[in-house]
């Protein structure tokens, strides 16, 4: 059995490539996107369509229900549990598809051991992060005490910033040091592994991103968020992701027009794609296809 990572920026065509390859090679698809793991988010998460789901078996899509918060450690656990079952079933090719570099790292290199989350500390951090000033103070705290970790995360990566500070406060250890210790163990990935990157010329990628944003809004992204808001899930992780966050701002009146909403989602998605490319380009073992 072989595991094939299919990575790259959003809207580059990773899912289409994996679907075609899985059909040709009797494979299955396993999700490696940190938003698509959640249920109740469909349009903004760009999950596979029902037609695509029927063509090839898909796993780890929408299996986390609100208000549960999902971590890379949980993904590591669920991934290897699922792959073990697929191996026992005789599946020959497993295509692991997504743009969440941290999740790919979690399964390829493993997760370092940390103590369980502290409810008291977690609530304190959530309270601080509820205001722009408080959240900025947490970013500065991480920059001061673990600049290596701070450099890895975008300022909008709320979950990983809070989780890193929680580790600092509860264990007294730097998350960056824990990652280095884990990497030094050099436990090999337990299956034959191939890595494929999907990318394209920047102007074409930007065009595809624009088309995707327009399609999401046309399909009813705003209505999807309105429905989710009935369940008081404002701070739920997937609703802080690109697309959902901007719609929340629009509904609160912080974004003043539909045209501005579309432009803000477009800008945020381009920024996300740039960060994804930067992350994956560091891995010299990825074979890139256009």
Residue 268 and residue 246 in contact, taking contact as beta carbons nearer than 8 Å: yes
The residues, ordered by sequence, that sit 6+ positions from 237 with a Cβ below 8 Å of its Cβ are 34, 38, 69, 70, 158, 159
> For domain 202-275, is the CATH number 1.10.287.890?
yes
Backbone phi, psi, residue 64, to 5°: -115, 115
The second-level CATH assignment, the architecture, of 119-182 is: Orthogonal Bundle (1.10)
pLDDT digits (tens, 9 = 90+) for 35-58: 999 999 999 999 999 999 999 999
pLDDT digits (tens, 9 = 90+) for 160-214: 888 888 888 887 888 888 877 766 666 789 999 999 999 999 999 999 999 999 9
Mean pLDDT of the 83-108 span:
95
Mean pLDDT of the 238-257 span:
95
First to last CA, the chain: 26
Distance from C-alpha of 63 to C-alpha of 151, rounded to nearest angstrom: 31
Distance from C-alpha of 36 to C-alpha of 42, rounded to nearest angstrom: 8
Backbone phi, psi, residue 279, to 5°: -60, -50
Residue 58 and residue 124 in contact, taking contact as beta carbons nearer than 8 Å: no
Please give the CATH superfamily to which domain 2-112+190-200+276-289 belongs.
P-loop containing nucleotide triphosphate hydrolases (3.40.50.300)
High-pLDDT (> 90) share of the chain, %: 69
Domain boundaries, the chain: 2-112+190-200+276-289, 119-182, 202-275
Task: Name the band, by pLDDT with cuts 50, 70 and 90, for residue 116.
Answer: low
At residue 156, the pLDDT reads: 81
């Amino acid at each position: 059995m072989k595991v094939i990572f299919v990575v790259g920026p959003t809207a580059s065509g990773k899912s289409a490539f994996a679907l075609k390859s899985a059909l040709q090679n009797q494979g299955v698809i396993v999700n490696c996107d940190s938003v698509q793991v959640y249920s109740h988010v469909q349009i903004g998460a760009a999950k596979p369509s029902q037609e695509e789901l029927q063509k090839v078996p898909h796993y780890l899509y929408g299996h986390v229900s609100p208000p549960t918060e999902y971590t890379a450690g949980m993904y590591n656990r669920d991934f290897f549990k699922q792959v073990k079952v697929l191996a026992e079933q005789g599946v020959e090719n497993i295509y692991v598809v997504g743009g969440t570099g941290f999740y790919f790292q979690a399964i390829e290199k493993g997760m370092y051991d940390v103590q369980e989350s502290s409810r008291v500390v977690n609530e304190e951090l959530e309270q601080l992060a509820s205001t722009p000033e408080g959240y900025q103070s947490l970013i500065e705290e991480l920059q001061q005490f673990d600049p290596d970790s701070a450099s890895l995360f975008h300022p909008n990566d709320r979950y990983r910033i809070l989780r890193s500070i929680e580790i600092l406060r509860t264990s007294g250890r730097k998350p960056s040091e824990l990652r280095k210790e884990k990497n030094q163990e050099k436990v090999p990935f337990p299956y034959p592994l191939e890595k494929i990157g999907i990318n394209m010329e920047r102007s074409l990628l930007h065009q595809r991103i624009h088309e995707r944003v327009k399609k999401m809004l046309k399909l009813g992204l705003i209505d999807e968020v309105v429905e989710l808001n009935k369940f008081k899930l404002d701070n739920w992780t997937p609703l802080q992701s690109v697309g959902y966050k901007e719609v929340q701002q629009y509904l609160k009146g912080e974004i003043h027009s539909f045209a501005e909403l579309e432009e803000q989602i477009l800008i945020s998605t381009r920024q996300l794609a740039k960060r994804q490319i930067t992350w994956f380009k560091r891995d010299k073992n990825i074979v890139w296809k256009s």
